[in-house]
Homo-oligomer: A and B are copies of this chain.
Amino acid sequence: MGIIVQKYGGTSVGTPERIRLVAEKIIKRQREGNQMVIIVSAMGKSTDSLIQLAREVTSNPDPREMDMLLTTGEQVSISLLAMALMDKGADAVSFTGPQLGIQTTAFHQKARILDIDVSRIHQALSKDKIVVVAGFQGVSENQEITTLGRGGSDTSAVALAAKLRAECEIYTDVDGIYTMDPRKLHGAKKLETISSEEMMEMASLGAGVLHHRSVELAHKFGVPLYVASTFSGQSGTRIVIGGNGKMEDSLITGMTSSHSDVQVILMNLPVGMKSLRRIFDEMGDKEVNVDMISQMMNGDKRMHISFTIPREDAHVARELMDTWLQEDDAIHWSINEDIVKMSIVGMGMRTHSGVAGKVFDLLEQEDIEVKMITTSEINISWVMSSADEEKAIQVIGDGFDLTEKEIERE
């Protein structure tokens, strides 16, 4: 009898009625002869309500106490789901992260899973119980309650599946992985399969369905993932570990666009300037993640440099430049917030050259200026003005066959 790990997101368990529907889905799979381990998120918007409560108490909530507060959200959903399963005749038992010994680092709000003691799960499964586990949470060596940060419940699910050598099914409010967010690209195609490497790229480039940490973990431990809608009944997307997916017939698998970065532009810096090094060092110390960098000489002694950082860290960069770049009047700096970062991802790029050239051609047809560009083995990313986003998505989507043909013919 195989173990299946399923994860249900907050929308899927957002009301008592939905919890009952989810319970039926789970019991159906159990009756087909599977041992079921279920990970759930907090109900609907309950995490937001808890954060709001904390804000009404203090403008600067302590991270440890935030973890104490937020973990109640999942504890509510696991108990209600276990009750619903029992109400429908199954045997079920719920566990919090600490109860299960989901050992994490001690870094509150951003903890990482170190190990999971699955003995209690095996014990419960051997008694035909459906095991319901609180996602997003764990416990540190000092018995402190921790949370895993964004996308934490997906990560909990994949980590459990890895330990249990099980398949992992992620149920959510979208139908699967699309070539591009269908709200942005009219006619975007749903993918039947995608390789884990492509999915990692897409997730880290802003595709919202799966958090990149969970995909990385699945890739690392070889956990087969399946992403589908909880209630639509349609088939979802299979994430194939290490494989090529159905790559042969398409050069590009998917596309993302993200507004989460800003572009920092520094003009006329003296070559070898110590302040620049200092700015990068201090950003590193403050965990500001510098992503794309481009540099260009301006004569012999001066250069222009430009890089992107997360939007929420713009103030950090601003303070550092205010502090370190005052000495030289020739230096000008600015932060461009009206940018979007677009990326195309595909294993096909490994064997086909000329993809970057085609991107430039397509964008040029629409008079779109590329401000920065980076390429890696299976992705090409570029920064352009936010105003050009819609045009760019359509021309790239059509040019690389990311839309349904029927739609294209309309």
Contact = CB atoms under 8 A, between A and B. Distances in A.
A118 interface: no
Interface stretch (A69-77, A297-305, A361-369): A69-77
A145 B134 CA distance: 14
Contact of A54 (B56, B83, B98, B99): B83
A80 interface: yes
A159 interface: no
A72 B76 contact: yes
A394 interface: no
Contact of A69 (B56, B68, B80, B87): B80
A65 B53 contact: no
* Copies of this protein chain in the complex: 2
A261 B56 CA distance: 43
Chain A: interface secondary structure? helix
Given A50-B76, A76-B50, A83 B59 contact: no
Interface residues of A, number: 38
A125 interface: no
Nearest to A69: B79
Given A68-B78, A99-B145, A87 B20 contact: no
A16 interface: yes
Interface string A49-72: 010011011111110111011011
Contacts of A69: 75-76, 79-80, 83
Interface of A: 16-17, 19-20, 50, 53-54, 56-62, 64-66, 68-69, 71-72, 75-76, 78-80, 82-84, 86-87, 93-94, 96, 98-99, 143, 145
